[in-house]
Structure 1
Amino acid sequence: MPRALAPPLPEGCPWSGWTPPNVDWCEQELCAVVVNPANTWSNLLYVGVGIWMWREARRLGRRDLAAFGPAGILVGAFSLVYHASYTYFFQFFDFVGMFVFCFLPFSLNARRLGWVAPGREPVVHAGGTLAFSGAVPVLFELGIPIQGLVAVAIAAVVAQVLRLRAGARARDAYSAFWAALALLLAAAVCSALDVTRIACDPTHPWLQGHAAWHLLSAASLYALFGFYRGLGPPAA
């Protein structure tokens, strides 16, 4: 199966010599250093949320939440450079950033479910991030949508939380997780409407469906952090 690539940039543009990504979002490509402005600058909300999470974890003295902030900042930074460049090279790092964040709740849930011993969460986190990141170039060469990896990681976290909730006494504490999931689903709908051109205005300077994905999913990270903050630190 041949690689699925977005249309290349015209010759002479700043990023025209690079391999394009595997998806063509609605926003028009500019012959400029920042190829997709709306999809680029909307990532700044991830950075803002990441800074807030980092400061909040420090204020609370929560070591289990310490990596949320840096991971959120990484998501925003990698996605910003990817959308600015319109290249597969930086798209790879965009996925790495998402995996870095996705496997944080996965590793925390694994600890709470008793799947791993206390202190082994970083091993689970690193293993999941490396495995999924390593699958990106393989799927890219096969022409298989890489975005499915993110869906698998998210589905795994949801399955874990459902197991945690089944054995929980205070189920009201899970409302923040459902809010995070609802925001993420709304973000996915906006992104799907964008890439399928169902709702698409390529020339609009800021109203883009994939930019809405960035904004809504950044809000989802905020709610997800609130969920784990509300659960309290895991038992020693």
Structure 2
Amino acid sequence: MYGITRRSLTIALIFTGLSALATYAALIALGPDWARYLPASCTATHCFCEFPRPGALVVQPAATWSSFAYVLVGWLMIGSAGAFGAAGAREAGSAMPPLAMRALGVTAIIVGVGSALMHATLTLWGQFLDVVGMYLIGSFELVWALARWRRIREGRAIALFASLCVVLIALLIVAPEVRRWLFAVLLLVAICVELVFARPLRPGVRLRLFLYGLLAMTVAFVIWILDQNGTLCAPHSLVQGHAVWHLLGALSLWLLFAYYRSERAVPQGTGPV
């Protein structure tokens, strides 16, 4: 599906498993007494439907392990850049540079590991890592759209991406209570800039992939709300709405990547930055 070969999928699954083992080892080293750390801000109200297991190494297992869907997607992106050999090489004629593929892949991995640490510990530092990953994704989408629209060269785009991430992380430190609203605004701006200004400048791009990704994210957000307010909630079940949110979010991110990769390369001087 969209460039996934059996070889690249197998290797991505292996690396995802190794990432999960490394995360589990980190949890063993840091826990399981998560009460000695500052709690996540959501614990003052409600950290989603899944019941937190007191004294457990992994406090919310469904939400924790479903986060590795992002890690799998990230390794698939890295494989698409040719990291797994010729069988995983990037699609012929794609305008998306391998460096951008790898950058988005690493970002997806950070999102997944950060989310896993947040739900495994329900600590403030876990929440921080979780939100940082979300900001990285939103920043990449916005900068990649701006770079295409304003024809910003690669070096300047990287500097802009780094600067935006620094500003967002600083805001997360000084005003953590606005983290969700800030991420929503960042994502909406990125979507608007992409659809209105960047997309018309992407030759051959498959818009339906972007729209499918938006649909998956919209469904995921509805499930997130139903899980958060307790409408769709079975606290002790391993089937959790927030876990579905992770799975659909990872699917949405892969479709976004496929959309970017569908852009066709054009002669030098008129193509993408």
What CA RMSD, in Å, does the superposition of the two structures yield over aligned residues?
A: 2.1
Offset from partner CA, 1:71-128 (integer Å, 9 cap, x none): 1111111111111001111101111111112211211111111163443111121111
- Letter of the 1:129 counterpart: C
Aligned to 1:235: 272
The answer for the alignment partner of 1:26 in structure 2 is: 49
Q: CA separation of 1:88/1:115 partners in 2, compared to 1, >3 Å: closer, same or farther?
A: farther
Of 210, 222, 225, 2:257 maps to 225
Q: Give, in whole Å, the separation in 1 of the partners of 2:121 and 2:223.
A: 22
From 174, 177, 198, the equivalent of 2:210 is 177
TM-score by length of 1: 0.86
What displacement does 1:232 show?
3.4
CA gap of 1:166–1:75, structure 2 versus 1, over 3 A, is closer
Shift, 1:220, TM fit: 0.5
Structure 2's unaligned 5+ residue stretches are: 1-31, 83-88, 91-96, 266-270
CA distance in 2, matches of 1:171, 1:162: 14
After superposition, the Cα gap between the structure-2 partners of 1:64 and 1:145, relative to the gap in structure 1 and judged at 3 Å, is closer
Match in the other structure for 1:64: 100
CA distance in 1 between counterparts of 2:203 and 2:151 reads 21
Alpha-carbon offset, residue 235 of structure 1: 2.6
Partner of 2:26: none
The amino acid that maps onto 1:198 is T
**Is the counterpart of residue 208 in structure 1 residue 232 in structure 2?**
no
Kept in 2: contact 1:39–1:83 (CA 8 A): yes
- Which structure features the higher share of helix residues? 2
Percent sequence identity is 30
Q: Deviations over 1:7-32 (max 9, x none)?
A: xxxxxx71112222122211001021
| Structure-2 separation of matches of 1:166 and 1:212 | 29
Instruction: For 1:87 and 1:43, locate their aligned partners in 2 and report how far apart those are by CA, in whole Å.
Output: 16
Q: Name structure 1 gaps, 5 residues minimum.
A: 1-12
Cα 1:145–1:107, aligned 2, differ >3 Å: closer, same or farther? closer
Does residue 81 (structure 1) correspond to residue 117 (structure 2)? The answer is: yes
1:35-184 residue pairs with structure 2 within 5 A? 35-58=59-82, 59-60=89-90, 62-114=98-150, 116-140=152-176, 144-164=177-197, 167-168=200-201, 173-184=206-217
Q: Is the 8 A contact 1:22 1:88 kept in 2?
A: yes
Aligned-residue offset at 1:204: 0.4
TM-score, normalising length from structure 2?
0.75
Q: Distance in 1 between matches of 2:199 and 2:135?
A: 26
In the alignment, the residues of structure 1 paired with residue 40 and residue 264 of structure 2 have an alpha-carbon distance, to the nearest angstrom, of 40
1:169-224 residue CA offsets vs partner (Å, 9 max, x unmatched) = 8687211111111111111111111111111110002x111111111000011100
Task: Give the deviation of 1:165 after TM superposition.
Answer: 6.1
| Alpha-carbon distance in structure 1 between the residues aligned to 2:98 and 2:171 | 32
- 1:155 and 1:95 map into 2 onto residues whose CA distance is 16
Q: Does the 8 Å CA contact 1:71/1:101 hold for their aligned counterparts?
A: yes
Do 1:26 and 1:208's aligned partners in 2 also have CA atoms closer than 8 Å? yes
Is the 1:194–1:210 contact (alpha carbons within 8 Å) kept by the matching residues of 2?
yes
SS of 1:113's partner is: helix
